[in-house]
Amino acid sequence: MLTDYIKGPFMVCLRHIATLNFKTHSQDVCLEGPTEPGGASKSKFSAENYTTRQADIRVVRVLNYMHTTIKKRKGFTLLELMLAITIIAIIAAGVIALDIPAQQRNDLDTARNSIIQTLHSARSKARAVDGDVSWGVSIQSSTFVLFKGASYASRDTSYDEATDMPQTLVPSGLSEIVFVKRTGDPTSTGTITLTSKTNEQRTITLNAKGMIDY
């Protein structure tokens, strides 16, 4: 029989189920072939053999159905693929749209804190008379620099400490602040403004005593 070649627990179980199902409808079945003269039967099948044969047929039908179903569903249709791509694109666009403002806010806060730290460092060096000269900070479009000297133009470049400005930000307002040696008072006062591409701003205000507000 065909199912005699089907191995494994799953197939044995499947055949057993099919056999039990068929037995409920075929109790005491006995098939006989054509009879010879005198009433002798040429072939005779017991109900059990008949049930087993029918179970084999049912197993084959189930396997054929499973194979056909799996074969039909082994891939995606073009419509399903396009729908999946569209959903992914929408989600990605939403994530990017939410991420850009957050990243620029982070750039604003990081740059502001770095400039404040640089201003404090320049003032501390001037008050300590480090190198017997004033110290200052230059705010530029792509960087800000802690420098040694009475001005950025006349500074000692070997002491420069430059920090990159994020490309998403535009600085405005005070561009050069020099702190006088010993007193640490700034030669200029005002506000430094950082503006992102989403028009968010952070400000740093410097007063005549060198105090920083933000």
The CATH number linked to 109 is 3.55.40.10
Q: How many domains does the chain have?
A: 2
Contact present, 156 and 149 (Cβ < 8 Å): yes
CA torsion angle 121 126 129 135 (round to 10):
90
Do 86 and 173 belong to one domain?
Answer: yes
In a domain, 76, yes or no: no
Task: For 57-106, write each residue's pLDDT tens digit.
Answer: 665 676 666 656 655 555 667 887 888 888 888 887 777 666 678 888 99
Last residue of a domain, one of 18, 50, 71: 71
Do 139 and 166 belong to one domain?
Answer: yes
Task: For 173-208, write each residue's pLDDT tens digit.
Answer: 999 999 999 999 999 999 999 999 989 999 999 999
**Model confidence, pTM:** 0.57
Do 95 and 167 belong to one domain?
Answer: yes
Last residue of a domain, one of 28, 45, 71: 71
Query: How high is the pLDDT of residue 4?
Result: 46
Query: How high is the pLDDT of residue 26?
Result: 44
Query: How high is the pLDDT of residue 46?
Result: 54
Cα–Cα distance measured from residue 211 to residue 204, given in angstroms and rounded to the nearest whole number: 10
Residue in this structure with the two tokens 């133009």, named with its chain if needed? 153
Q: Phi/psi at 147 (nearest 5 deg)?
A: -130, 160
